[in-house]
Amino acid sequence: MFFKIAQYISFELLNLDPESKWAHMSLFFFEDSLKIIALILIMTHIMSLFRYYLNITKIRNFLQKRNLYGLDYFIASFFGAITPFCSCSSLPLFIGFVQSGIPLGIAFSFLITSPLINEVAIGVFLGAFGLKMTMVYVGFGILIGVFGGFILGKMNLENHIEPFVKGQDFTEKTNEPFQNILKKTSKEARGISKKIIPYILLGVGLGAFIHGFVPDGYFENILNRAGIWGVPISVILAVPLYSNASGTIPIIQSLVTKGVPLGTAIAFMMAIVGISLPEAIILKKVMKIKLLAIFFGIVTIGIIIIGYLLNWLF
């Protein structure tokens, strides 16, 4: 359906030559944009309704009162995966977790996973790479959060959090008719979608340009010259290029179609959304340099390992 709409726009409305580079770019842009936006609208509505019933106070008490043998890190990482935040917008919730008394390592599990995976990114990834690769991407993203948070939690770095981060009380939700809840969560979902869609269009647009105009093998040749260092080099180059996962995935799709190894491309994407300079600047306000360096070091190592594993597996 989306491809037929893209064909109509490209060939009927824009009257592009089917053999031209502009036509290839147009088909890519309109098909992917329509497909991704549809997935975003559906998934944000579902997940906004689900999130409404989550209660941070209950989560905190559950984590503090029970010895979960590491399952608490998985729960925090999973919670990060279902929140539609980029790295910067997830920081207030991370601070709220720390203020509410949730252990630092568990809070970091959320912070690591939140920008890497969310329902929007899953929808985009599903449309771009299919179910199998989406499951691999989600699994590895949660794995980074679990092990990263676990390692940080065992290092006893609480004294490296800035003193202004103090306790905070959370109020319980009041009972409302389901119809009112549905309206509220739908409004939230639409608001999230409106904020995300411009990034989607920008990312798809850049991806479409790469798809239409970049010569076959261009990126593959650059990364192949790097040899075994392709994954860490892609991670280093990605750090200044801040974006959210939703806007980056279409670019990664284009890179993969041009021959860039899948693991290298995904490592590039994870670095853009998970260890960006804007995130570091904001995090510096709530933690000291030592903790910040350890946090970024652990996440960087995890992304590089996943990049090599994916290149080996696929």
pLDDT tens-digit readout, 38-82: 776 776 677 667 666 666 566 656 655 556 666 888 888 888 877
- pLDDT beyond 60 at 242: no
- pLDDT beyond 60 at 174: no
Q: Give the pLDDT of residue 168.
A: 41
Q: Give the pLDDT of residue 51.
A: 60
- Tell me phi and psi for residue 161, to 5 degrees: -85, 140
Judge contact between 143 and 112, C-beta under 8 A. Answer: no
- pLDDT beyond 50 at 126: yes
Mean per-residue pLDDT, 12-25: 83
d(CA 281, CA 303): 20
Mean per-residue pLDDT, 281-294: 81
Instruction: Among 13-17, 57-61, 143-147, name the one with the lowest average pLDDT.
Output: 57-61
Q: Give the pLDDT of residue 185.
A: 77
Region for residue 78 given its phi and psi (left: phi exceeds 0; alpha: psi -120 to 50; beta: otherwise)? alpha
Torsion of the alpha carbons at 209, 140, 149 and 232, rounded to the nearest 10: -50
Judge contact between 55 and 172, C-beta under 8 A. Answer: yes
Average pLDDT score over the chain = 76
Q: Give the pLDDT of residue 186.
A: 83
Mean per-residue pLDDT, 14-22: 83
Instruction: Among 30-44, 106-120, 192-206, name the one with the lowest average pLDDT.
Output: 192-206
Residues spanned by the domain of 7: 2-313
Question: How many other C-beta atoms are found inside a 10 Å radius of the C-beta of residue 163?
Answer: 6
pLDDT tens-digit readout, 85-108: 655 556 666 766 776 667 888 889
Q: By percentage, how much of the chain surpasses pLDDT 90? A: 5
Count of all residues that appear for the chain in the document: 314
Q: Give the pLDDT of residue 219.
A: 59
Q: Which residue has the higher pLDDT, 150 or 160?
A: 150
pLDDT tens-digit readout, 262-272: 888 888 888 87
Judge contact between 211 and 251, C-beta under 8 A. Answer: no
What is this structure's pTM?
0.65
d(CA 33, CA 13): 17
| Confidence tier at 311 by pLDDT (50, 70, 90) | confident
d(CA 207, CA 253): 7
Residue 202, burial from CB neighbour count under 10 angstroms (0-12, 13-18, 19+): middle
The number of folded domains in the chain is: 1
Return the structure tokens found at 89. 């917008």
Q: Give the pLDDT of residue 146.
A: 92
Question: How many other C-beta atoms are found inside a 10 Å radius of the C-beta of residue 7?
Answer: 16
Torsion of the alpha carbons at 153, 248, 281 and 188, rounded to the nearest 10: -80
Mean per-residue pLDDT, 158-163: 79
| Confidence tier at 169 by pLDDT (50, 70, 90) | very low
Q: Which residue has the higher pLDDT, 198 or 243?
A: 198
